[in-house]
Amino acid sequence: MDVDVFSRTETSDKIIGASTYNLVIGLTLIWGFAINWFMVQNISVESISNINPIVFFIGYFASCFFGIYLFRKSDSPLVSFIGYNFVVVPFGLIINLVVSQYNPDIVLEAIRVTGMVTFVMMLLGSMYPAFFNKIAGGLTIALFCVIVVELIEIFIFNTHHGILDWIVAVIFCGYIGYDWARANAIPKTYDNAVDSAAALYMDIINLFIRILRILGRK
């Protein structure tokens, strides 16, 4: 195991070209999205809903945290890719539950909007990396505060304000720019490409879910 992926400033691994590095990031992201699509098409919502909620959430968080630990600490592309899949699968179950509530046309629109926003934020992350590094701390604090407010609204007041979806969407837009800037600041290796894709995957999926909820209310 090596130091945290985004803290790496040097490496003994093979350095690859920028185009290959970006290609690996892209293919890794596509793999994750393809797995999620397969899960939505082939796993019934009823089978997920029948899982005991406590068991489901324990398994969800255990799998995600284990996967994050693997891809953030490993310097092996294979180990990082395995860790990535430990994140992709539980995310896929959540996506399955969420998209089942919406018309397919709205889901496709949310995918299109998410793709366009992601492209723009990656472009901005490449152009203004210093800016995104400065706001990283603020993004984390803002996200934590919004999560606390949402939990209070849901479990105490049994309500949800749509403005929170907009706030979270903006926060994850910032995270996409930030993680893309970080991805281009570390040594370009196969392992770092997989690790960067894993971080971006979580940003993009969270953004997609919020955009879907926003469009669904329209």
Q: Is residue 10 part of a domain?
A: no
Task: Tell me: pLDDT of 203 over 60.
Answer: yes
Number of domains composing the chain: 1
Task: Tell me: pLDDT of 187 over 70.
Answer: yes
Task: Tell me: pLDDT of 92 over 70.
Answer: yes
With bands split at pLDDT 50, 70 and 90, how would you rate the model's confidence at 4?
low
Average pLDDT over residues 69-95: 93
Residue 37 lies in domain: 15-217
Average pLDDT, rounded, for the chain: 92
Average pLDDT over residues 181-188: 93
CA–CA distance from 87 to each of 117, 163, 171 (Å)? 22, 27, 20
HSE, side-chain direction, 13 A CA sphere, residue 113: 18
101-123 exposure pattern, b = at least 16 Cβ within 10 A, e = fewer: ebeeebbebbbebbeebbeebbe
- Both tokens of 33, joined, read 């999205």
Average pLDDT over residues 96-118: 95
Q: Could you report the per-residue pLDDT of 142-174, keeping only the tens digit for each?
A: 999 999 998 898 888 877 778 999 999 999 999
In the chain, pLDDT over 70 holds for what percent of residues? 95
Average pLDDT over residues 115-125: 96
Distance separating alpha carbons of residues 184 and 124, to the nearest angstrom: 12
* Nearest of 148, 146, 150, 210 to residue 176 by alpha carbon: 210
Average pLDDT over residues 194-214: 96
Q: Is residue 7 part of a domain?
A: no
DSSP collapsed to 3 states, the chain = CCCCHHHCCCCCCCCCCHHHHHHHHHHHHHHHHHHHHHHHHHCCHHHHHCCCHHHHHHHHHHHHHHHHHHHHHCCCHHHHHHHHHHHHHHHHHHHHHHHCCCCHHHHHHHHHHHHHHHHHHHHHHHHCHHHHHHHHHHHHHHHHHHHHHHHHHHHCCCCCCHHHHHHHHHHHHHHHHHHHHHHCCCCCCHHHHHHHHHHHHHHHHHHHHHHHHHHHHC
Q: Is residue 184 part of a domain?
A: yes
The pTM of this model reads: 0.91
How much is the pLDDT for 154?
82
Q: Is residue 111 part of a domain?
A: yes
In the chain, pLDDT over 90 holds for what percent of residues? 84
Q: Could you report the per-residue pLDDT of 9-41, keeping only the tens digit for each?
A: 667 778 999 999 999 999 999 999 999 999 999
Average pLDDT over residues 69-94: 93
With bands split at pLDDT 50, 70 and 90, how would you rate the model's confidence at 74?
confident
Distance separating alpha carbons of residues 33 and 201, to the nearest angstrom: 8
